[in-house]
Structure 1
Amino acid sequence: MRSLSMPNLGKDQDAQMHTLEAIMAATIMVAILIFAVQATALTPLTSSTANAHIESQMYVIGQDMLTALDHAPYDQNSDLKEAIIEWNGEMYVWNGTHYQSDYNKSNSLDGSVVDMLEFVAVKNGIAHNIEFMYNDEDSTNTEAYIFSGQPSDNAVIVSRKVLLSNSDIVNSTSYEATTDIPDIDTTTALYNIVDVKLTLWRM
């Protein structure tokens, strides 16, 4: 009679243990790899994410500034509209203490727009330009109101349209000669629409 050989249970158990260890090691490595990829993509310390966060913050700040400046009680002009109406056509630059005319150094800018910029932008090291865009008969023109230099690559731009009526302008001939902003429709009460463009960036 042929004798039956008993299986080697010890070797089978060793093989199962090695297989289990390999599976566990592979699972751990995959988990570590997934964690590393997610951490690299989502950490706020990466340059692109940090820049996007800063740009988003500045965009909200710019929107809030223009919204606040363009708010007005019933039957009154907003601070933003008053700044456009009272503008003398000159470009102003921050000289460390106040906004000074680039054309006439003895002229300085004041008012609610200046107060807002000093409180929000200047104190927080945010460079800023303000431009007035308006239409004439043939094209759209842009004039600098406040200029702090060429914006960086991470600059944000917010804008607000302000409607000027004939009743807002005391002397349309003098105003156009000073600012170059014309009356685009002499047959209606509309004088012009000025698009106020605010550009913000970190210095």
Structure 2
Amino acid sequence: MKTNRQPDDQRGQMYTLEGFAAAAIVLFALLFAMQSVVVAPGTGGAIDQTAQAQNQQELQDALVVAAHAEEGNGSLSELVRHWAELGYVDEEDFAEYFVLGGILEDHFSGSGVGDRYGVEFVYLNESENSNEIETETAPVMGSYTTDPSAVTASYTVTLHENQNMTEIDRTNGRIVDSGESIKGNEIPDGAPDTDHIYNVVEVRVTAW
């Protein structure tokens, strides 16, 4: 009696081909996933220029939004004048009462990419030599780095002689005029020969 094993052989070949096909699909999926990985700045790999550009644009946008915030809501000018009043800014107050601090806390604190930041003020100093412009840099908030992945954005605030320093009205959750003249505080008169302008302050933010 003869036995026809051809169907079993064909079935075995089909199983083998299906196995190869499944293995090929898994392999291609792994290769695609490996090629799709983006190395974030600060992870020890190559610096991702796209992520850097995005971080820098977000920093610049944060500064613009803060600069144009309504009076009493913690604008850049109010932040500068608050620092001028005290010589420091409390970290919790920075995040709660000032627009820039709130944005940095929400978007750059603990995000993994650009999750650390520093804020500093750069302003003009009186110079004995009228042909030279001296500047002074004051750390305001956060820490600083030489990380090559760091990005920096800045915005210039003009202080006027008729402005006062600011303080926090904790009862109403607003920034208010302290009643103290901006003259004679942590920021010197950097433009003594210029009418109405007291100083020009660059608010500089670095994130990495």
Shorter-chain TM band: 0.5 to 0.7
Residue 26 of structure 1 is matched in structure 2 by none
Residue 136 of structure 2 is matched in structure 1 by 141
In the aligned structure 2, how far is the partner of 1:52 from the partner of 1:89?
36
Question: Does residue 1:84 correspond to 2:80, yes or no?
Answer: yes
Q: Which range is displaced more, 53-62 or 148-157?
A: 148-157
Decide which structure has greater helix share: 1
Q: Secondary structure at the match of 2:116?
A: strand
1:55 to 1:187, Cα distance in 2 relative to 1, 3 A: closer
Residue 103 of structure 2 is matched in structure 1 by 116
Kindly state the Cα deviation for residue 186 of structure 1 after the two structures are TM-superposed. Answer: 5.5
Q: Secondary structure at the match of 1:197?
A: strand
Residue 50 (structure 2) aligned to one of 43, 49, 53? 53
Any unmatched runs of 5+ in structure 2? 1-34, 40-44, 128-133, 165-179
Question: Does residue 1:171 correspond to 2:171, yes or no?
Answer: no
Q: Secondary structure at the match of 1:149?
A: coil
Kindly state the Cα deviation for residue 124 of structure 1 after the two structures are TM-superposed. Answer: 1.8
Residue identity in the other structure for 1:171: S
1:77 to 1:166, Cα distance in 2 relative to 1, 3 A: farther
1:45 to 1:77, Cα distance in 2 relative to 1, 3 A: closer
Kindly state the Cα deviation for residue 137 of structure 1 after the two structures are TM-superposed. Answer: 1.8
Kindly state the Cα deviation for residue 171 of structure 1 after the two structures are TM-superposed. Answer: 2.0
Kindly state the Cα deviation for residue 120 of structure 1 after the two structures are TM-superposed. Answer: 1.5
In the aligned structure 2, how far is the partner of 1:156 from the partner of 1:76?
29
Residue 206 of structure 2 is matched in structure 1 by 199
Kindly state the Cα deviation for residue 90 of structure 1 after the two structures are TM-superposed. Answer: 2.2
TM-score by length of 1: 0.60
Question: Does residue 1:62 correspond to 2:53, yes or no?
Answer: no
Greater RCO (Cα-Cα under 8 Å, separation 6 or more): 2
In the aligned structure 2, how far is the partner of 1:146 from the partner of 1:162?
17
Residue 71 of structure 1 is matched in structure 2 by 68
Q: Secondary structure at the match of 1:124?
A: coil
Contact 1:157 1:197 in 2 (8 A): yes
Residue 151 of structure 2 is matched in structure 1 by 156
In the aligned structure 2, how far is the partner of 1:183 from the partner of 1:60?
30
In the aligned structure 2, how far is the partner of 1:165 from the partner of 1:77?
19
Residue identity in the other structure for 2:82: E
Q: Matched residues, percent identical?
A: 23
Residue 190 (structure 1) aligned to one of 172, 189, 197? 197
Kindly state the Cα deviation for residue 80 of structure 1 after the two structures are TM-superposed. Answer: 0.8
In the aligned structure 2, how far is the partner of 1:133 from the partner of 1:187?
19
Give structure 1 regions of 4+ aligned residues with deviation exceeding 6 angstroms.
Answer: 75-78
TM-score by length of 2: 0.58
Aligned pair count reads 142
Q: Deviations over 1:79-122 (max 9, x none)?
A: 11100011121265xxxxxx26xxxxxxx544133222211111
RMSD (Å), alpha carbons: 2.8
